[in-house]
Amino acid sequence: MEFRDLKKQYRVLKKEIDAGMQEVIENTNFISGKQVTELEEKLASYVGTKHCISCANGTDALTLALMAWDIGPGDAVFVPDFTFFSSGEVISFEGATPIFVDVREDTFNMDTVKLRKAIKKVVEEKKYTPKVIIAVDLFGQPAEYAEIRKIADEFQMYILEDGAQGFGGEINGRKACSFGDISTTSFFPAKPLGCYGDGGAVFTDNDEWAALIGSFRIHGKGSFKYDNVRIGMNSRLDTLQAAILLAKMKAFTDYEIDKVNDVAKKYTEELQEIVKTPVVLEGFLSSWAQYTIQLESKDKRNGLQAYLKEHGIPSMIYYPKPMHKQEAFAPYCGEEEELAVTTKLCERVLALPMHPYMEDEQIHQVTGLIKEYLKP
């Protein structure tokens, strides 16, 4: 069994994907071809933002947002302690200070009570200026933006939505990647909407930031490519990747999001009595980048993972280490008692195979083995 079956997806979408790639190769417009603009327009219209600026990966997308806001030394940026490294890496990369915030045990997303507390503390200490909240849509479920917006307004901060895993998710019908002042996503192959290499995008309604990000991503270009008005980077989305994403988008919007929600529902029905299953809040829709269960101890978790592996079932530990325990962040360690939930989750979580092409039989095979292993 595959953890995320990209081979099967390719078999289903082969005709469209091959045709899209062939066209790019025949036209040899590998950089900034028309497919890139076409994709950006489609993505912006799907998400419901005025602008979409594609770029080389989801990490650059976050960096470009921080560059547009001129975030740097002396600024504090708040980010969940439980996320992929890159959500925090970009903060230090810009010379700002990451402040790690604990998450909710049921949704895995930022705990807004602890967020407010952490911001207040930084304000009182007067060492750094709170500037940005990076809210992560972990495992596919959007963060709690209504509450996060209140907090951002109260402290006059920006919201950067890291929707790398959240693309396709919703809150009350509004799409993920539209909740931040700037929002970003990643098209890494295993993300909800993935290309065949690295790719990313930035979303915003703000004209000025969109123009800045458009410039930063191509060497700080001015009126044309060889007119450079600021220091930027080289972070474009390849035309080939844009063509692949265009071919995949129809399936993604037509049925893939529904399909992963079916799979999640079946998992939860089968497993909710024996392990802690993931909670999706009222009015929220997850794009199920991961389906993550919690076991009662690290031993049980590791034991179950080994047992599944013995039976040919892959599973993953996202994430084995809290951000504040990463060696790279050693100078910015948070306070242990404030980050207790993340620490606990890192020992107990296990992500199960999840993708839109999973058959009922495969779901039952996974849940059957879990039941067998946990049988009293």
Ligand X SMILES: *Cc1c(COP(=O)(O)O)cnc(C)c1O
Which two three-digit tokens encode residue 309?
């592996």
CB of 193 to ligand X, least distance (A): 12
């292993």: which residue's tokens? 373
Site for ligand X (CB under 6 A): which residue of 86, 141, 235, 315?
A: 86
Q: Which stretch binds ligand X (CB under 6 A): 79-87, 122-130, 215-223, 304-312?
A: 79-87
Residues 160-219 that bind ligand X (CB under 6 A): 162, 164-165, 186, 188, 198, 200
DSSP state of 335: -
Site membership for ligand X, residue 292 (CB under 6 A): no
Residues forming beta bridges with residue 242, ordered by sequence position: none
Site for ligand X (CB under 6 A): which residue of 78, 84, 155, 373?
A: 84
Residue pair 153/134 in contact (Cβ under 8 Å)? The answer is no
The amino acid sitting at 310 is: E
Considering beta carbons, is residue 62 or 151 the nearer one to ligand X?
62
Site membership for ligand X, residue 342 (CB under 6 A): no
Considering beta carbons, is residue 49 or 165 the nearer one to ligand X?
165
Considering beta carbons, is residue 71 or 164 the nearer one to ligand X?
164
Which two three-digit tokens encode residue 239?
């035309």
Please enumerate in sequence order all residues whose Cβ is within 8 A of that of 350, keeping only pairs 6 or more positions apart, or say none.
Answer: 292, 293, 294, 295, 301, 304, 305, 315, 316, 317
Considering beta carbons, is residue 90 or 210 the nearer one to ligand X?
90
Considering beta carbons, is residue 176 or 243 the nearer one to ligand X?
176
Please enumerate in sequence order all residues whose Cβ is within 8 A of that of 287, keeping only pairs 6 or more positions apart, or say none.
Answer: 140, 165, 166, 167, 168, 169, 176, 192, 257, 260
Q: How far, in whole angstroms, is CA 376 from its chain's centroid? A: 37
Considering beta carbons, is residue 57 or 178 the nearer one to ligand X?
57
Site for ligand X (CB under 6 A): which residue of 59, 63, 112, 292?
A: 59
Site membership for ligand X, residue 110 (CB under 6 A): no
Considering beta carbons, is residue 324 or 370 the nearer one to ligand X?
324
Site membership for ligand X, residue 88 (CB under 6 A): no
What CA–CA distance (Å, rounded) separates 10 from 16? Answer: 10
What CA–CA distance (Å, rounded) separates 40 from 55? Answer: 10
- For 108-154, the DSSP string reads -SB-HHHHHHHHHHHHHH-SSEEEEEEEE-GGG----HHHHHHHHHH
Residues 132-151 that bind ligand X (CB under 6 A): 136
Site for ligand X (CB under 6 A): which residue of 9, 49, 54, 87?
A: 87
Residue pair 148/154 in contact (Cβ under 8 Å)? The answer is no
Nearest to 60 by CA among 243, 288, 287, 232: 232
Q: Which stretch binds ligand X (CB under 6 A): 52-60, 100-108, 122-130, 368-376?
A: 52-60
Q: Which residue is nearest to ligand X (CB)?
A: 58
Site membership for ligand X, residue 319 (CB under 6 A): no
CB of 184 to ligand X, least distance (A): 8
CB of 190 to ligand X, least distance (A): 8
What residues line the site for ligand X (CB under 6 A)? 57-59, 83-84, 86-87, 136, 162, 164-165, 186, 188, 198, 200
